[in-house]
């Protein structure tokens, strides 16, 4: 018989981010992006899998929801820690992915992010987007920015999240956190963002922008004098703009490009790479500050990602930071190895990265905190 709370305690003690429980396999932990098998535990039997289900699913209504939708998210608390339990199905058996939500709020100055992003987060209006693939630290950056605002400015902050990963206690700001999802505080990001205009908030934080409804509401909030901070699941700054444009019909895209160029303050696109210290992860940011040159490329009739990336590369003095420059800085500062940096480059850009490293080597680099 498996004792699920013992597995969870092991995960917490080892500072895992996630726990994976699958039938006929030993429990596994995600630690610094690596999957670690817990050899001290037996493989999970059919009985174990259903015992775990009964442990987390405590009432008939939740059970019926899972049987109907074949997926479920539930909150769980143990050892003074909050956990988010996702249940899905594989070959007819429940599969569990458990996210451990740390109580310690991330601090902006501890992240590898230039201070210009903090200054934008403290501005009265506009839009700031934090982007990246899964597990690149988007939520960490988002919550670090909220934490910074909370201790600095007198604002009302409305946060829409799925799931809620950190709990913020109001300091100088009033913070309202709502969980998005069926049967939760708000049915969707789009509805929550639309309602935000009626909730007298100064700052709207969107855990994810993934459709037109949410983007429409975010733009409306930014245009009406509010600050919007949101995340998108995109790999680069230029891909983020391309994704936003794709939300709209071709006959609407010229208008939306003008709207975005006027409200968007910055995009930060994140990558988490293996550092030079064992087990250490380093966040590499690509940053697009929307100045007059970048805004021009955003408004062009035919949007071209390569043109925008070239503009970011040349706007270092205005606060933008290309991926190549960010990687070069990290190599020179010995945060990551050259081999790690090279893996992030297409073949045609590898020589460009080497030239950039030679160009910056020996110079005083003060871009980061």
What CATH number has the domain bearing residue 56? 3.30.450.90
Based on the fold, state whether residues 130 and 194 are members of the same structural domain.
Answer: yes
Based on the fold, state whether residues 45 and 128 are members of the same structural domain.
Answer: no
Last residue within a domain, chosen from 54, 75, 101:
101
Q: According to the model, what pLDDT value does residue 278 have?
A: 74
Based on the fold, state whether residues 122 and 218 are members of the same structural domain.
Answer: yes
Q: According to the model, what pLDDT value does residue 11 have?
A: 94
Last residue within a domain, chosen from 68, 101, 134:
101
How many angstroms separate the CA atoms of 116 and 319, rounded? Answer: 7
How many angstroms separate the CA atoms of 207 and 364, rounded? Answer: 36
31-42 burial code (b ≥16 CB/10 A, e <16): eeeeeeebeebe
Based on the fold, state whether residues 253 and 333 are members of the same structural domain.
Answer: yes
Based on the fold, state whether residues 97 and 160 are members of the same structural domain.
Answer: no
How many structural domains compose the chain?
A: 2
Q: Could you tell me the CA-to-CA distances from 339 to 135, 344, 359 in Å, in that order?
A: 21, 9, 18
| CATH number of the domain to which 137 belongs | 3.40.50.300
Based on the fold, state whether residues 257 and 182 are members of the same structural domain.
Answer: yes
Q: What is the DSSP letter of 104?
A: S
Q: Could you tell me the CA-to-CA distances from 269 to 117, 232, 272, 356 in Å, in that order?
A: 12, 9, 10, 20
Average pLDDT score over residue span 290-312: 91
How many angstroms separate the CA atoms of 121 and 142, rounded? Answer: 10
Average pLDDT score over residue span 212-220: 96
Range of the domain at 224: 108-360
Cα 264–chain centre separation: 18
Average pLDDT score over residue span 122-140: 94
- Per-residue pLDDT band for 65 (boundaries 50, 70, 90) equals confident
Based on the fold, state whether residues 146 and 279 are members of the same structural domain.
Answer: yes
Based on the fold, state whether residues 163 and 208 are members of the same structural domain.
Answer: yes
> What pLDDT, in 10s, does the model give residues 168-204?
999 999 999 998 887 778 989 999 999 998 999 999 9
How many angstroms separate the CA atoms of 121 and 131, rounded? Answer: 15
Q: According to the model, what pLDDT value does residue 369 have?
A: 46
Based on the fold, state whether residues 231 and 344 are members of the same structural domain.
Answer: yes
Whether residue 61 lies inside any domain: the answer is yes
3-state helix, strand, coil in the chain (%, to 5): 40, 25, 35
How many angstroms separate the CA atoms of 227 and 212, rounded? Answer: 19
Q: According to the model, what pLDDT value does residue 192 have?
A: 93
**β-pair partners for 230:** 129, 206
What residue has token string 């930071």?
321
**pTM (2 d.p.):** 0.86
51 preceded by a cis bond (ω within 30 of 0): no
> What pLDDT, in 10s, does the model give residues 311-365?
999 998 889 999 999 999 999 999 999 999 999 998 989 999 999 999 887 666 5
Last residue within a domain, chosen from 72, 101, 130:
101
Based on the fold, state whether residues 59 and 85 are members of the same structural domain.
Answer: yes
Based on the fold, state whether residues 126 and 263 are members of the same structural domain.
Answer: yes
- Per-residue pLDDT band for 264 (boundaries 50, 70, 90) equals very high
Count other C-beta atoms under 10 Å from residue 163's C-beta: 20
How many angstroms separate the CA atoms of 18 and 12, rounded? Answer: 9
Position 368 pLDDT exceeds 60: no
What residue has token string 């680069």?
236
Backbone angles phi, psi at 101, to 5 degrees: -100, 110
User: Do β-strands 264-274 and 126-132 pair in parallel, antiparallel, or remain unpaired?
Assistant: parallel
């Amino acid at each position: 018989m498996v004792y699920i709370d013992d597995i969870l305690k092991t995960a917490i003690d080892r500072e895992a981010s996630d726990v994976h429980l699958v039938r006929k396999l030993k429990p596994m932990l995600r630690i610094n992006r690596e999957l670690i098998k817990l050899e001290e535990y037996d493989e999970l039997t059919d009985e174990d899998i259903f015992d775990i289900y009964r442990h987390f699913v405590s009432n008939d209504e939740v059970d019926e929801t899972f049987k109907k939708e074949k997926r479920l998210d539930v909150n769980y608390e143990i050892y003074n820690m909050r956990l988010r339990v996702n249940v899905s199905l594989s070959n007819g058996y429940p599969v569990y992915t458990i996210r451990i939500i740390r109580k310690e709020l991330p601090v902006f100055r501890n992240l590898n992010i230039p201070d210009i992003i903090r200054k934008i987060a403290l501005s009265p209006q506009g839009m700031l987007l934090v982007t990246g693939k899964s597990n690149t630290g988007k939520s960490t950056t988002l919550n670090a920015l909220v934490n910074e605002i909370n201790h600095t400015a007198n604002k009302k902050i409305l946060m829409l999240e799925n799931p809620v990963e950190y709990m913020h206690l109001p300091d100088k700001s009033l913070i309202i956190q709502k969980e998005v999802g069926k049967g939760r505080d708000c049915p969707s990001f789009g509805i929550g963002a639309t309602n935000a205009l009626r909730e007298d908030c100064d700052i709207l934080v969107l855990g994810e922008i993934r459709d037109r409804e949410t983007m429409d509401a975010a733009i409306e909030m930014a245009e009406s004098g509010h600050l919007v901070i949101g995340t998108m699941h995109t790999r680069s700054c230029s891909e983020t703009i391309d994704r936003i444009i794709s939300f709209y019909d071709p006959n609407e895209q010229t208008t939306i490009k003008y709207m975005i160029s006027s409200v968007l303050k910055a995009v930060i696109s994140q990558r988490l790479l293996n550092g030079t210290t064992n087990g250490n992860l380093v966040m590499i940011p690509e940053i697009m500050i929307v100045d007059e040159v970048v805004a021009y490329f955003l408004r062009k009739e035919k949007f071209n990602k390569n043109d925008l990336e070239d503009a970011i590369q040349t706007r270092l003095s205005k606060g933008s930071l290309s991926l190549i420059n960010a990687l070069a800085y990290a190599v020179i500062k010995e945060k990551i190895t050259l081999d790690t940096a090279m893996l992030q480059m297409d073949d045609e850009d590898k020589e460009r990265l080497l030239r950039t490293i030679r160009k910056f080597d020996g110079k005083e680099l003060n871009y980061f905190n």
